[in-house]
Amino acid sequence: MNDALLEDAEQRFHDACEHAQLSVDAIERLQLPEMSLKVSIPVRMDDGTLRTFAGYRVRYDSTRGPAKGGIRFHPSVTAAEVTTLAFWMTFKTALMDLPFGGGKGGVAVDPKELSAAELERLTRGYTAAIADVIGPDLDVPAPDVATNELVMGWMVHEYAKITRRHQPAVITGKPRQLGGIAGRSSATSDGAFLVIRELRDRVLDDLDRPRAAIQGFGNAGAQLATLLAEDGWMVVAVGDSSATIVDPDGLDVAKVREHKDGTGSLAGCPVGEERERDAVLTTETDALIPAALEGAIHADNAGELQAKVVFEVANGPITAQADRILDDTGVEIVPDILVNAGGVTVSWFEWVANRQGDRWTAATVAERLEERMVTETHTVADLADERDLPLRTAAYVHALERLSGAMDATGTADLFANGG
């Protein structure tokens, strides 16, 4: 999976390079991460034994600003996976014109096997191990898979103890009480909704009441289902790791969420009809919205999709092979680095507010988020039209040209071109 993810990222990078106006230096500088750290984290377990976990932090590029990217706690975390995700973050921050580069971190651990006290000791140990390579002006972590506000709270506290300074801007996605920002937990679904709203007529030919099927009914997927239903969409299917729930006339999303919140899963939902887990992907719909896993749409199932457009809320839900199949069958793809960029955008607001010693209101966050999402969505769509590119390639081209411009502005290429 990790190697496939890396290959897909490289493939998309090379596809975009063919269509972008880039300097040779920029392409060369993006070949390797700036910094890659692997650490060992010894943790005293509740039963008195000592276990050592592998942790990582990669700063892929910081030409445009401090690195930015989440921390994931998952058994599959490896150096290759973290590097690939840091590479993606470099494009996402450039695409949104945030003053950040790209980074990512993680610990190879199954957090479900740890007690809360063990998880806290692991998080504090990881923070101490990477403390030299993070900082408000250097590299700013955030939550990712299986990390949350609580984990960010431990990290910001541990960092303050190590540096003997109160530095809330070192981490985003913190609890409100420690400098977190209003609207962070809904930022990804709010941002995705804005992208969908702006592109709806373009990709769905002015349909009055489009249908949506959503894979993943967690933080991003469930909130987006509510926003779409409120906007008049028919949510015809939702799926999680237990089941798919279908109603071709549109589900009562509030009732489905009530069941999921109460039981922790979609299985046994009293509304709609229950199908097997992956049925959501092949449901007849206008828009398919993967909001669960990397690689959910692959060469073996891409041909069975019955959607006109895929909005990628998850990171990397479509493999490069599946991309080509969807392209052949005329399914449009709106790419992850645009659709799910609301999360990192609101993280930027949190970092800015922390540095100003300010508090932003929910209204300011919503207004600034809308401005960023709408502006960059239309820039990508216009670029796709001007250069006759798929939206994914256009998004990468736009990000790459921004990155290349910043790298070139550092001036070294000119110096050598002029003979030193």
Residues that bind ligand NAD (CB under 6 A): 188, 215-221, 239-241, 277, 291-293, 313-315, 340, 343
- State the nearest-atom distance from the C-beta of 212 to ligand NAD, in Å: 15
**Residue 263 one-letter amino acid:** T
Question: Is 104 in the active site?
Answer: yes
Q: Which is nearer to ligand NAD, 340 or 393 (CB)?
A: 340
Question: C-beta of 223: minimal distance to ligand NAD in Å?
Answer: 8
Tokens of residue 145, six digits: 């898979």
Q: What are phi and psi of 289, to 5 degrees?
A: -125, 90
- For the CB of residue 342, give the shortest distance to ligand NAD in the complex, in Å: 7
Please count the CA atoms within 13 angstroms of the CA of 241 that sit on its side-chain side: 4
Closest CA to 280 of 301, 261, 265, 260: 301
| Bridge partner residues of 297 (DSSP) | 318
Nearest-Å Rg of the Cα atoms of the chain is 21
Those residues whose C-beta lies under 8 Å from the C-beta of residue 159, and which sit 6 or more positions away, are: 127, 131, 134, 167, 170, 171
Residue nearest to ligand NAD (CB): 218
Query: Is 240 or 286 the residue whose CB approaches ligand NAD more closely?
Result: 240
Catalytic residue among 68, 104, 174, 260: 104
Question: How many CB atoms neighbour CB 340 within 10 A?
Answer: 24
Pick from 319, 345, 316, 381: which is nearest to 94 by CA? 345
| Least distance (Å) between residue 315 CB and ligand NAD | 4
Give 314 or 403: the residue with its C-beta nearer to ligand NAD: 314
Q: How far apart are CA 367 and CA 344, in angstroms?
A: 15
Which residues lie across from 38 on neighbouring strands? 56
Would you say 221 or 335 has its CB closer to ligand NAD?
A: 221
CB of 383 to ligand NAD, least distance (A): 22
Q: Of 6 and 45, which CB lies nearer to ligand NAD in the complex structure?
A: 6
Closest by Cα among 39, 167, 86, 145 to 155: 167
What residues are annotated to the active site? 104
